[in-house]
């Protein structure tokens, strides 16, 4: 009888203590400010800008494109070895090295010279299915979809050829793409570029020009990249994200409390930061790419 009474009393006290702890936890939660919902549904002054290589897709689109062209006898085994080495280096290093990227661009331009744009676009659709579709990072894809679901426009912004970027954007259901423009005359590639590659500060200028043409508020926009080369673009928007970041970008992002996402290891870290807008000089290549895209979409 004594044991039963003691057990009942202990249970009652325990129940009271648990109820008090629950009330305290709820009170603490009510007092803690929650992070604002993002992306904001229905905010038509906001948009999202995604780097492509190693942000949306594992590896470099240009290298995958080269593999597909080799399969179709566009060039010889020696050039394939160069593409294979460049891709292996990129996957191991996880960063964009200007010298390697320039080498890859020069190789690609020499390969497509004399071919029709329509031919390469058709082949690009096949190459996407063969080499790129399975390399899309699901986590980044989900971030892009969240912006689309919120009613916002989503663009790829990449140094890859605009034709390749446009194919990828369409396959992922995105709004469109800004990319490097290869010169063509009467629908045939000349082997030269129009302006400079869309890389580094040129990306920021392209985003700035497109935002002006679309009437966007950059402080309400988001940008995503893996590379420190894209710090100018990330600094331009109110919601910068470092995705699978290289060492320099990770350090920069942590110092400024930018959001971080790393889908390579499953690690996730999220911090809210308000970056200062970076002043970037006007770059003709970036502006031209943005204006061309805006006109095309109109």
CA 52, 157, 39: angle at the middle one, nearest 5? 90
Choose, from 30, 43, 44, 53, the residue flagged as catalytic.
Answer: 53
Contact 165, 177 (CB under 8 A): yes
**Interhelix angle 61-71/162-171, nearest 10 degrees:** 100
Secondary structure class of 63 (helix, strand, coil): helix
Which residue, 244, 245, 225, is CA-closest to 236?
Answer: 225
Place of tokens 């960063």: 95
Cα(277)–Cα(235) distance, rounded to whole angstroms?
Answer: 5
Residues 277, 234: contact at Cβ < 8 Å?
Answer: no
Cβ atoms within 10 A of the Cβ of 165, count?
26
Q: Where are the alpha helices (DSSP H) in 94-174?
A: 98-112, 117-127, 138-149, 162-171
Q: Is 44 an active-site residue?
A: no
Are the beta carbons of 247 and 116 closer than 8 angstroms? no
51, 226, 230, 246: the catalytic one is 51
Greatest distance between any 2 Cα atoms in the chain: 100
> Is residue 230 flagged as an active site residue?
no
Q: Which sequence positions are flagged as catalytic?
A: 51, 53
């Amino acid at each position: 009888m004594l044991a039963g009474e003691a057990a009942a009393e202990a249970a009652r006290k325990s129940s009271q203590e648990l109820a008090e702890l629950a009330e305290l936890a709820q009170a603490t939660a009510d007092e803690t400010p929650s992070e604002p919902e993002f992306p904001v549904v229905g905010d038509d002054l906001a948009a999202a800008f995604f780097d492509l290589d190693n942000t949306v897709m594992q590896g470099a689109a240009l290298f995958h494109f080269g593999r597909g062209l080799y399969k179709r006898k566009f060039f010889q085994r020696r050039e394939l070895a160069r593409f294979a080495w460049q891709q292996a280096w990129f996957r191991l290093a996880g960063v964009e090295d200007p010298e390697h990227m320039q080498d890859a661009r020069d190789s690609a331009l020499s390969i497509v010279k004399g071919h029709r744009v329509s031919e390469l676009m058709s082949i690009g659709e096949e190459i996407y299915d063969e080499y790129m579709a399975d390399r899309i990072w699901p986590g980044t894809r989900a971030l892009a979809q969240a912006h689309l679901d919120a009613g916002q426009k989503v663009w790829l912004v990449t140094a890859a050829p605009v034709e390749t970027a446009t194919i990828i954007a369409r396959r992922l259901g995105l709004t469109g793409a800004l990319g490097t423009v290869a010169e063509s005359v009467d629908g045939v590639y000349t082997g030269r570029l129009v302006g400079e590659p869309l890389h580094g500060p040129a990306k920021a200028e392209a985003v700035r020009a497109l935002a002006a043409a679309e009437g966007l508020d950059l402080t309400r926009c988001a940008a995503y990249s893996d590379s420190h080369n894209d710090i100018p673009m990330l600094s331009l928007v109110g919601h910068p994200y470092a995705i699978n970041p290289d060492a320099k970008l990770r350090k920069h992002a942590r110092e400024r409390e930018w959001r971080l996402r790393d889908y390579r290891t499953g690690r996730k870290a999220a911090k809210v930061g308000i970056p200062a807008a970076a002043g970037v000089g006007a770059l003709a290549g970036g502006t031209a790419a943005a204006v061309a895209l805006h006109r095309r979409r109109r």
